[in-house]
Chain A
Amino acid sequence: MAIFEKARGLDSVNLMEVCGTHTMSICKSGIREMLPEHINLISGPGCPVCVSPKSYIDKAIAFSRLPDVILATFGDMLKVPGSNSSLAEERANGSNVKVVYSCLDAVDIAEKAPDKKVIFLGIGFETTSPTVAASIVYAHKKKLKNFFVYSGHKIIPPAMKMLVADNDINIHGFICPAHVSAIIGTLPYKAINIPCVIAGFEPLDILQGILMLVEQLASGETKVENQYKRIVKDHGNKKALDLLKDVFKVEDSDWRGIGVLPKSGMKLSKRYSMFDAEEEFHLPKIKTMPDKGCICGSILKGIKKPSECALFAKKCTPEKPQGACMVSSEGTCAAYYKYRR
């Protein structure tokens, strides 16, 4: 295969993907086993549910316990364990927690239930945050007073930059996320300064992306290439980017297992602060308990594999998850549990 040929003269190569959908696709298709031994595919922090800190879950749980609140959330947040509970447990105990497919559904719920306060959990990278921004603009136009967003949105390129600088990991190239790139385009990856290829999610897309990275490494080039031209344009999606600039402002953000990264998160801008759940509701101080034995942090950085975790597939399973990486449909541990045990 072409990858074998191009990789012949190279030393050990570490390629990281930072998109949960890539993690799943790689595990499901068995791509790792098809590659030469010295090409290592590392799963990075590509799952926005997994990189949300435990304190975010604890606060979401606290919001759900407030009177007259409907907590609206994407499905994979439901089972993520907080310090003492999860949203699924809170729902079982009588809290009004609704799973929605889109933030627009949460706006609909708020419109139809004016006596309730709807708080939407804004989790996701740049593919999702514009959909939340657009929904907030709709709520603004409808003059809704009972719709709020608790933003935990994050931006991927700052995390990629941090990972490159980390000597424990030693990344030589990135497989860049497909639909995040449809929004942000190719420009934000240039500042990372290592080979980057944006690749689609099909196994053939990913293999072609890996080939393009190996070709760059073999020729000593460093550039940003786009394998997913059928969707991704260099300039990204201007309408989505303009909405993000209007509705959100960039701030420092806490990433599970990584710590606080500067300018890597999104909070509602001043113009839309009336929709910010953290501005509207004042919760008592919450004490977040540290993880017991869960090594999600090391897994998210690609330093350890799920099989190296003492809890994996024993105490920690999809039915009884100990950390976010096992719960989320795109978590590295969930992928390994499903396809690589």
Chain B
Amino acid sequence: MCLAIPMKIKKIEGNRAIVSSGSVERRIAIDFLTNSKIGDYVMVHAGFAIEKLDPKQAEETLEILRRI
């Protein structure tokens, strides 16, 4: 239930954002973030971004998930 995956912000519309990870795209809420911008990596859980992620760290995590 705590599992959150890193997704990249593609578009911001007020308190919502379109994020993607590989071929998956989702519309999520970004109420918990401050100063988010396109290109930021965020951890997504239950339809919300719960925190921002360092881009280098995000790519490493995605690479591990791709190999599963």
User: Do A and B associate with each other?
Assistant: yes
Q: Which residues of A contact B (CB under 8 A)?
A: 19-21, 47-49, 74, 76, 101-105, 124-125, 127-128, 130-131, 134, 177-180, 182-183, 201-202, 230-232, 237, 239-240, 243, 328-330
A201 to B4, CA, bound (A): 10
Q: Are B46 and A103 touching (Cβ within 8 A)?
A: yes
Cβ-based interface call for B23 (8 A) = no
Cβ proximity bits B24-46 to A, threshold 8 Å, 1 near / 0 not: 00000101111000000001011
Shortest distance between the CB of A231 and any CB in chain B (Å): 5
A102 to B31, CA, bound (A): 14
Q: Are A101 and B46 touching (Cβ within 8 A)?
A: yes
Closest partner residue, chain B, to A48 (CB atom): B1
Shortest distance between the CB of A134 and any CB in chain B (Å): 5
Q: Are B50 and A201 touching (Cβ within 8 A)?
A: no
A182 touches which of B1, B29, B47, B51 (Cβ 8 Å): B51
A-B contact count (CB 8 A): 87
Instruction: Describe A's contact surface by its main secondary structure.
Output: loop
A180 touches which of B2, B54, B57, B64 (Cβ 8 Å): B2
Shortest distance between the CB of B13 and any CB in chain A (Å): 14
Q: Are A19 and B2 touching (Cβ within 8 A)?
A: yes
Shortest distance between the CB of B48 and any CB in chain A (Å): 5
Known: A131-B46, A134-B48, A237-B51. A21 touches B32 (CB 8 A): no
Residues of B within 8 A of A179 (CB): 2, 4, 43, 45, 50
Cβ-based interface call for B12 (8 A) = no
A-B CB contact pairs (8 Å), 12 listed:
A21-B2, A74-B1, A101-B46, A101-B47, A128-B1, A128-B45, A128-B46, A131-B50, A179-B50, A182-B51, A330-B1, A330-B2
A240 to B61, CA, bound (A): 24
Q: Are A177 and B1 touching (Cβ within 8 A)?
A: no
Cβ-based interface call for B18 (8 A) = no
Known: A134-B29, A179-B43, A239-B31. A230 touches B53 (CB 8 A): yes
Q: Which of A20, A131, A330 has the most CB of B within 10 A?
A: A131
A103 to B46, CA, bound (A): 7
Q: Are B2 and A127 touching (Cβ within 8 A)?
A: yes
A10 to B44, CA, bound (A): 39
Q: Are B1 and A104 touching (Cβ within 8 A)?
A: no
A202 to B58, CA, bound (A): 12
A103 to B43, CA, bound (A): 17
Known: A102-B46, A131-B45, A231-B51. A239 touches B34 (CB 8 A): yes
A199 to B20, CA, bound (A): 25
Residues of B within 8 A of A182 (CB): 43, 50-51
